[in-house]
Amino acid sequence: MYSLRMAESVTEGHPDKIADQIADALLDEFLRKDPYSKVSMEIFVTTGLVMVGGELSTESFVDIPKVVRGVVKEIGYTKPELGFDADTCAVVTSIDEQSPEIALGVSGEGAGDTAIVVGYAVKEAPNLMPWSITLAHRITRRVSDLRKTGRFPFLRPDGKVLVSMVYEDGKPRYVKDIVAYVHHDPDISLQNLRELVIEEVLKKEVPEEFLKSETNVKVNPTGRFVIGGPVADTGLTGRKIVSDAYGDIGFSGGSAFSGKDPSKTDRSGSYMARMIAKHVVAAGLADKCVVQIGYAFGLTEPIAFDVETFGTEKLEKEKIEEIVQKVFPLKPCDIIEFLDLRKPIYRDTACYGHFGRERFPWERLDYLDKLKELL
């Protein structure tokens, strides 16, 4: 049976990703100085302006404008001709103390928010992620790396990639479409840009077996992409939740991640759900796995837990659920300790996906032996 799956990825300089990176950079700074900080940050980015809003409960002080400008500069918005400049953009802050009612709700180690969280893993790409989202992130990351290392100095920070893949009988067969929008200086021709992106990015990051004669590749199909970043479009935290997760082949609980400390279960619970799903697949208990957990604000126990394996399970689903709950914690406070989430690790999650990269603790397959002992 034929089906089509799609995934999108954006570069570090995309306005929405600027917002996510600022939010998580601020979170990291608060956690670095006070690991028990409660942080909920929202960022709005537009022409010449970054607005920082949110609620805080912390013993630390962070120079918010300094952090904001540092992130913008590191991304690459350092020249006025880009329409957005780290040194000259205005930074406006509106920060309130965390609501005492919210503080009371989480003081007893309860969930910091009501959330449905989803974790997904599939026996497909080596990182047990869907190939479509894996390829999309590979492409945008390489574009950014070529720009930041100076190999392609004519590239600018903004960009976006859409990948669609053909599946037959649930297996990925080939890439049907790659559409890349690459931000660039005005003095490079579209022809040269397209040739370089195809040769130095797409052919280097997409496995040869996925590139067929039917594959349709487009680079900047609408023409020049000189005006980009916040001068071209506003950016907000949390507008790329499907790109942050699994692409359209997976599932989303509907909540954003960036700017939230780990007491927010829509973040920490999602990380634990991914870890469980990944272990189920890596242990050979199923070829595909979705883990869903429901949390309610202030409650110390999840209100729902479910494992779905789509008929690929190697033993009964009830047994899989029983085993994983013996190995992995589901209480919000226990998840934080289990994954060591009070450390400043979040800025790196804010671009190129929260899942599928081994550097994060929820991606490590440290508990396979424990799972297998319980079989």
Q: What is the average per-residue pLDDT within 163-176?
A: 94
The dihedral sign for the CA sequence 360, 363, 369, 371:
positive
Asked if residue 131 lies in contact with residue 4, where contact means CB atoms within 8 angstroms, the answer is no
pLDDT of 110 above 80: no
Q: What is the pTM of this model?
A: 0.95
For 42, the enclosing helix (H) or strand (E) is strand 38-46
Higher pLDDT pick, 374 / 279: 279
Contacts of 71 (CB under 8 A, 6+ apart): 18, 21, 22, 25, 347
pLDDT of 70 above 90: yes
Confidence at 107, pLDDT banded by 50, 70, 90: low
pLDDT value of position 1: 73
pLDDT of 113 above 90: no
Percentage of residues in the chain having pLDDT higher than 90 = 87
pLDDT value of position 315: 92
**Beta bridge partners of residue 177, listed in sequence order:** 164, 216
Contacts of 278 (CB under 8 A, 6+ apart): 119, 121, 128, 362, 363, 365
Distance CA 72, CA 220 (A): 24
Confidence at 170, pLDDT banded by 50, 70, 90: confident
pLDDT of 97 above 90: no
Q: What is the average per-residue pLDDT within 290-317?
A: 93
pLDDT of 298 above 90: no
The backbone region for 159, taken as left when phi is positive above 0, alpha when psi lies in -120 to 50, beta otherwise, is left
3-class secondary-structure state, position 55 = strand
Higher pLDDT pick, 154 / 99: 154
Greatest mean pLDDT among 104-113, 165-174, 343-352 lies in: 343-352
Record the tokens describing residue 107, joined without a space.
């003081």
Q: DSSP alpha helices (H): ranges in 180-224?
A: 190-197, 203-205
Distance CA 183, CA 14 (A): 10
Half-sphere exposure of 356 (CA within 13 A, CB side): 28
Confidence at 108, pLDDT banded by 50, 70, 90: low
For the stretch 228-260, pLDDT in tens is: 999 999 999 999 999 999 998 767 778 899 999
Lowest-pLDDT range of 24-28, 44-48, 101-105, 193-197 = 101-105
**Beta bridge partners of residue 166, listed in sequence order:** 4, 174
